[in-house]
Amino acid sequence: MSNFFQNFIDPAFWYSVLRVSTPLLFAVMAALVSSISGSINIGIEGMMLMAAFWGNVVGAFVKNPWIGLVAGVASAMAMSLLLAFSHLKLRVNLVIAGVALNLFGSGFTVFMLFALTGEKGTSASLGSQPIPRLDIPLLRDIPFLGKVLNNHNALTYLALISIFLVDYLIRKTPLGMRMRAVGENPDAATSVGVSVLRVKYLSLLLSGVFAGFAGAFLSMGYVSWFARDMTSGRGFIALAAQALGGNSAILGALGALLFGIAEATGFTLQSLRIPSEITNMIPFILTLVVLIIYARTRVRSHSRIQKI
Amino acid sequence: MKKFLVILLATLFVLSFARPLKVALLLNGTLGDKSFFDSAGRGIQMAIKELGIEAKIIEAGYQQERWRPYLEDLSDQDYDIIIVGTWQMQEILEEIAPMYPEKKYFIFDTSVDYSKPGLDNVYSILYKQNEGSFLVGALAALITTSGMPKTNPEPIIGFLGGMDIPVINDFLVGYIEGAKYVNPNIKVLISYVGSFNDPAKGKELSLAMYRQGADIIFNVAGNTGVGLLEAAKEADRWAIGVDSDQALIYEDIDIEIAKRIVTSMMKNVDISIFRGLKLHLEGKLKYGQAEALGIAEGGVGVADNKYYRELVPEQIRAKIKEIEEKILKGEIKVSTAYGMSTDELNKLRSSVRP
């Protein structure tokens, strides 16, 4: 057990927390920018998968990870555009359209993988173009923190920066305020001349961008190949983390980090022979617990208002 | 005219006795996979050369809908034995084999369900992964304290399993027993990913094990195991491959990974097919049942490739050879996870807990 506690003062543990959390951070931002304007993006999982696939494959074909990244993000945006079109224009139920996108992403990527490589498992035979890691001179020399924060994948830093960008966007900019207004009360927004449709399109598209980064990180940073269904439910975990944070980017990001910690702890616990079924459940048990606490505090604050 | 026909039939009858055994190998994929299918192809080539059989290899490709028609077509032709492999062909064979009772079938790396009717003409080849894992367990335990580059003095090794299920635990049981055989104080870190399709998590779990002092990890996790190989490259430690010679598979894709795979626990499809055909010709092969092939039959073993010879010191390789001999002679009996109770399994696992 002493092993277990030692683990938490090991910088390598916190380093891995950041790495585990990176796709979640992006996905939480994707969930946030869409839900803030009133449309829950269930399709994040499928968008991530699509971006993971195209990012890796295009990167391998043109031998440039950055072009791959652009292609990956573009493919996720195309998916989100499809979602926005079917929901906003064709009036399809958002949840059903999202689920359809997820199923489509899972099947289509395997189909294309087979068409391009003749394999159905991984894209390993294409070779890989991972996005480079950044070695930051000043950061490197700080004790402990240097080991935790330095030498991450470039996308990990982008994920951390994007928390504050999204926070600024939704709290300070006119666009952010419109997004919130549309989410809170579309009729009121319309009455003051905000185009609800345009704002919703924009926020779903932005959601696609972040989902694209999340997916690209999986196949170009975390590991350097695409494997079928490699998102493994991370898009859904992100939806839960975003729900914890409500409309705050910072709280949502903390939620993602909490999942990262839970998952990384699970990895360490496992090799100490805690049954794998339990360690694999940890992030999800945590979701339930935090949601219950969250719901209770919400109920309390509501009742207080009523008393006054 | 009638006479002529009788003579013709008679000659055909005689000729059919004299003609060599006709064998078809139906691959539910293509050659060039550097894995099971290539190995099966080698087994057929060996049999052509040494047993004088006549054989054809048919590559059905990876589209599942084409496999069944191929097998039906082949069964309609005049082949004596038709060989298929992998669990994906199991159900198809279970349907087709009863329709052609005069034909013989082999299936490797899985077994048909003999409780179903009409499968008396099918011979199933299984591999004793516990025996092969015993060898790589011993190898890992020897390497971790050998002072080889990239190792630390602590006697800790790792195991990455796809799921906590009997077939994976059969590898584990052999691995632990092998490691304990050479070093009773060995510690084994055991992780199950809970999925065969999550390389990111496989990588993370492997990195956690490397961080906790394991210098070498055995990969038993299918697609997820790709993550272990990446982790080995990143942490600059050792890995042991599984099923096929993974160092050779990765040689062309990423040499940095190939250089860290000391060896692989192989299932020798080629030898098992050759052996089956030989027994058939001698009239000794028992159809209508499954046979598990271990080290004695050449069914499993350690991949003896250039990486193994370059990376692993001479005396360790000699020791592994020695252990192999002992299993061969029956001096070492390796337990199996099949039929083992959960209590026994947990006892074995906790005996090596760090």
**b/e B30-67 (16+ beta carbons within 10 angstroms → b):** eeebbbbbbbbbbbbebbeeebebebebebbebeeeeb
Cβ <8 Å between A275 and B226: no
Cβ <8 Å between A275 and B208: no
Q: Where does residue A249 rank: exposed (0-12), middle (13-18), buried (19+ CB within 10 A)?
A: buried
Whether chain B has a CB inside 8 Å of the CB on A132: the answer is no
A284 pLDDT tier (thresholds 50, 70, 90)? confident
**Span B3-32, pLDDT tens digits:** 766 666 666 555 555 678 999 999 988 777
Cβ <8 Å between A223 and B227: yes
So what's the ipTM on this one? 0.71
Q: Rounded to whole angstroms, how far apart are CA atoms B148 and A23?
A: 36
CA atoms within 13 A on the CB side of B120: 4
pLDDT of residue A141: 85
**Span B257-296, pLDDT tens digits:** 999 999 999 989 999 999 999 999 999 999 999 999 999 8
A308 pLDDT tier (thresholds 50, 70, 90)? very low
Cβ <8 Å between A225 and B226: yes
Cβ <8 Å between A122 and B212: no
Which residues in chain A have Cβ-Cβ distances shorter than 8 Å to B250? 124
Domain segments of chain A as ranges:
2-231
Is residue B69 pLDDT above 90, yes or no?
yes
Which residues in chain A have Cβ-Cβ distances shorter than 8 Å to B189? 271
**Span B178-223, pLDDT tens digits:** 999 999 999 999 999 887 777 888 998 999 899 888 999 999 987 7
Is residue A20 pLDDT above 60, yes or no?
yes
Which residues in chain A have Cβ-Cβ distances shorter than 8 Å to B195? 232
Whether chain B has a CB inside 8 Å of the CB on A6: the answer is no
Whether chain B has a CB inside 8 Å of the CB on A173: the answer is no
CA atoms within 13 A on the CB side of B258: 15
- List the one residue out of B39, B105, B31, B35 whose CA is nearest residue B269: B39
Angle between helices A44-62 and A234-245 (to 10 degrees): 130
**Minimum mean pLDDT range among A29-38, A57-66, B118-127, B160-169:** B160-169
Q: Token digits for A194?
A: 């905000």
Is residue A234 pLDDT above 70, yes or no?
yes
Total-model pTM: 0.77
**Span A114-163, pLDDT tens digits:** 888 877 777 777 777 888 888 888 888 888 888 888 889 999 999 999 99
Cβ <8 Å between B158 and A271: yes
Q: Where does residue A272 rank: exposed (0-12), middle (13-18), buried (19+ CB within 10 A)?
A: middle
Cβ <8 Å between B226 and A127: no
**Span B227-254, pLDDT tens digits:** 899 899 989 999 999 888 888 888 888 8
A109 in Cβ contact with A53 (< 8 Å): yes
Whether chain A has a CB inside 8 Å of the CB on B227: the answer is yes
